[in-house]
Chains A and B, each alone.
Chain A
Amino acid sequence: MPCIYLMPAGGVGASVLEAVAPAVARTFLLDVQIGPRLADIGFAYDGVRSQYHVSKLLLELIKNPPPDAAKILGVADVDLFLPIFTFVFGQAQLNGLGAIFSAHRLRHEFYGLPPEPVVFAERLRKEAVHELGHAFGLVHCLDPACVMRSSTYVEDVDFKGLEFCYTCRRQLNERLKSR
């Protein structure tokens, strides 16, 4: 039975994974398993930028996929980057096996604000569904409420919803059916 693997990368807490797993299962209608932790992520660290190279992490996470993995979603809690960008929330292989996102910039504390656990959990779910959406072949959507709406700031994440718009949902259902 194919399922979606949530792969913790680095020291990401169990609460983060617990917040994400039910939403992923409900959205993609697949079982969710917590995969083995990639404990040592030092190889992806860039000392000059004090950030972690997202592509390197993702490639490592999907290097030896479990045989029943429909998709692999890496969950990190460090600041991610791509060489050309100042930062990224996450990355996905469009229509591919893997995706990854980080909780790091989704926390209120990152912006000097007091913690907001409810908002944080909602952001985690949105980012998890968004990156997995890419792995299922969906591209960014112009509907401001759709979870596939591109978000470059955390405010954009808050603004959009957790659900797919009608068009994206239809596309996703087709992809899920054709699997």
Chain B
Amino acid sequence: MNPQEIGILIVDDEFSVRDSLCSWFQADGYRVDTAADAAEALQKLQNEQWNIVLLDIKMPGMDGIELQRHIKKISPHIITIIITAFASVDTAIQALKDGAFDYITKPIDPDELSHLVRNAIERMRLLSENLALKERVNELISADEIVGDTLAIKNVVKMIQEVANTDATVMVRGESGTGKELVARAIHKNSNRRYFPMISINCGAYPEGLLESELFGHEKGAFTGAQFARKGKLEMADKGTIFFDEIGDITPKMQMDLLRVIEMKRFYRLGGNKEIGTDFRIISATNRNLEDMAKSGAFREDLYYRLNVFTIYLPALRERKDDIPLLSHYLLKKYALSMTKQFEGFTTKAMEKMSRYHWPGNVRELRNVIERAMVVAKAPMIDEGDLSFPSAAEEEPAPERALLSLKDLEKIHIQKVLESLDWNISRAADVLEIDRVTLYNKIKKYGLRDLEE
């Protein structure tokens, strides 16, 4: 901070004190002014902006303590430093309780004053930096990423607003690609925990042992390869939010461990003997039918009730097709910015093609289709030919297929994708936009196999 940017007001009834301090601070390059009493000080505080006020505790009329109260009313950010004689240290303590930054006794040691003012300026700088950062965070938060005008999505936004400021555990349900993590982020960003981290963990992506160490952390030497102690995600999420994606994929052992942590908010690192307390809010997400899993015993009922306090259902994109124009324009604008390409919109035919498609991969698929189209299309419009859908059936499912259950449809679709990619699991997982573990689980669940083998 440049000294010229800092305004120091000196309030003292003694001319010599005002004069001495004024010339002292002027030599440091600060903007300085003086006031002989509280009334003059308040007048100057109203007319100009001051960052630091040095005020004498004993003045005729309104004393320093009372003046400080008025100053704090004008702006709580003004730093006040009390000048006092030894005899009135008790009053100085009262001033500190009322929010003074510090007090200094007469006669002042020049070095002490220099340090005090330097510290006050440092605090001012930190405060303004903190406020600026908070503003920046708020700006980022208000950037609304949940786009949609249909009743279904408006309801979701309303629910997010309702639940965000409570500390309730939330479960987000919806198909893959509907934006469950986006909802979790929106809840976190609108909650009181927003200045603390939101830690995401994809439960489906880790084998059991690894998930345990990811969540709880480990001490050095807890297992082969644990060369260093490491904080787990639960510890990292302290004061913030932890987001469990694909919560339906965790093993019974993990379910039990998790239940204990949720209930106690305390845990041990792997190989550790020190109990660690942590304060987090849980948001979980799944596209699996936890109710059926709970009934069949695959998912602990008590954990299910713990996690399912407040549920938000995300509609599939095909259930809110009216949002496709809005969403696609939003995504177009977003990618146009990052790709620095000048796209204006979609041709009518392109829009019709998108509206006809059934979007099994939901918004994530729409995003990928548009991103890809923007690479191949010629600005300023995206045409029908620029859009290519990764899944085989671009049109609405044929009537006989439409009568299939979602489960059967998923089974057929996965089999088809796997076959067309010669059972390359990684590529199939990419196309299906699920991770490999989930794909393996689904292959196992539906008993799929390579027919050519």
Contact = CB atoms under 8 A, between A and B. Distances in A.
- Say what secondary structure dominates the interface of chain A: loop
Interface of A: 55, 81-88, 91-94, 134, 139-140, 150, 152-153
B114 A82 contact: no
Given A84-B16, A84-B20, A139 B28 contact: yes
B17 A152 contact: no
B398 interface: no
Contact of B3 (A55, A93, A139): A139
Interface residues of B, number: 22
Contacts of A55: 16, 19-20
B107 A86 contact: yes
Contact of A140 (B21, B28, B109, B111): B28
A162 to B, nearest CB: 19
Interface string B101-142: 000001111110110000000000000000000000000000
Given A140-B27, A140-B29, A150-B28, A85 B111 contact: no
Interface in B181-237: none
Contacts of B27: 92, 94, 134, 139-140, 150
Could you say which of B3, B21, B110, B111 has the most chain A C-beta atoms within 10 Å of its C-beta?
Answer: B110
B20 A83 contact: yes
9 contacts: A84-B20, A84-B83, A85-B20, A86-B108, A86-B109, A94-B27, A140-B3, A140-B29, A152-B114
B14 interface: yes
A140 B27 CA distance: 6
Contact of B17 (A81, A84, A92, A150): A84
A94 B23 CA distance: 8
A55 B17 CA distance: 12
Contact of A152 (B23, B29, B111): B111
B251 interface: no
A119 to B, nearest CB: 20
Given A83-B16, A88-B110, 9 more contacts: A82-B24, A83-B107, A84-B17, A84-B106, A85-B20, A139-B3, A139-B26, A139-B27, A152-B109
Contacts of A82: 16, 20, 24
Contacts of B20: 55, 82-85
A109 B398 CA distance: 104
Nearest to B10: A84
A69 B379 CA distance: 75
Nearest to A134: B27
A85 B108 contact: yes
A91 B111 CA distance: 15
B126 to A, nearest CB: 18
B113 to A, nearest CB: 8
B280 to A, nearest CB: 43
Nearest to A139: B29
Interface in B23-50: 23-24, 26-29
